[in-house]
Structure 1
Amino acid sequence: MPKRRIVSLWFHRLGAERFLRRQGQLCDQVFAVVEDLGQMQVLSSLSERASQEGLQKGQPLRDAQAMCPQLLTRLRNRQAEELFLKGLARWAGKFSPWVAIEPTESLMLDITGCAHLFGGEKGMVAQISQETGDLGLSLCTGVADTPGAAWGLARYGGQGPEAQRSGDAIDQEARATRSRAAKRRHWERGGAPPKAISSA
């Protein structure tokens, strides 16, 4: 029986890039998505340029505007983001018949027995990265023996095909950092082509 292998796909700019795909004039701007948190608004997702300006996710909007007066913002639409991630899950089904959504910015793929169809794990991850780049999306990946290890590698192990290793050494640490991840994972079948992804 083949050893289980899991790929974690973390779309760490999903909220901002969902807007940038639709409103191309924002691509060269310092841009962020904001959401209400208590009595204030905070940054929930940043464009690459916003990060380069030193802005941070979770930062109060008024502080961000003081740091970067040219900041442009849009209000977060959680439902639209969820639908967009579901569209990405359907697309990811071309790489594995088992895809799980990890709210609010991630997908988990069980690629056990699938990677050879794409030239191995590195080939598969390279194709995933290429296609998501073509879709205008930033991506961090992690490949490991367990979901927890893959999740940790996607966030802390670097980007691209190099973020691959056995999960035993880091699984315990990764689990400890997943306080905001879903309690249960629902694997679903998918397979829609990239063009079917909704940008609503």
Structure 2
Amino acid sequence: MNLCWNEIKKKSHNLRARLEAFSDHSGKLQLPLQEIIDWLSQKDEELSAQLPLQGDVALVQQEKETHAAFMEEVKSKGPYIYSVLESAQAFLSQHPFEELEESHSESKDTSPRQRIQNLSRFVWKQATVASELWEKLTARCVDQHRHIEHTLEHLLEIQGAMEELSSTLTQAEGVRATWEPIGDLFIDSLPEHIQAIKVCRDPSLTET
């Protein structure tokens, strides 16, 4: 009887030790995964705050430089994120979990096996969210970079057209400045026009 009881206690102790080791391992993944999720969510909000683009060429050029620095920051975080996600994938391949039916998932079973399943499931959920946020952020970064490039190119075309128009107007103003005022021409020639009219009315005036 004592031998049987000791065997049960030994198995229970081994199972508890295994669960503690498993919990410690999963805990080392849960914390960095949550930090990644929080960081990616924050960067997604910062990226949204960069829109809409406003201002002239200088301001959009400044926004382009700001976004380039933002993309570099995101890119530098990539190796760490991939490392954590790969560790999570390796962990889940060693400790797969079974999809439970709804009735079972709502049960209050806290057996060691169920606790291990729950921890694996939680790590999987975190890794899935982190992976989706990473893909979303990197895709948005590329799209926004293209949008800024297109906007800047369009503004430069408009600026070039305006500068060309301004140059044309300046040249036109210069040409117009060389013209004699129409009013002055009319006033100076007014006596001649009056005399011509008088001659037309009375041809004898040409004899005087």
TM-score of the pair, normalised by structure 1: 0.22
Where is the strand percentage greater, Structure 1 or Structure 2? 1
More helix by share: 2
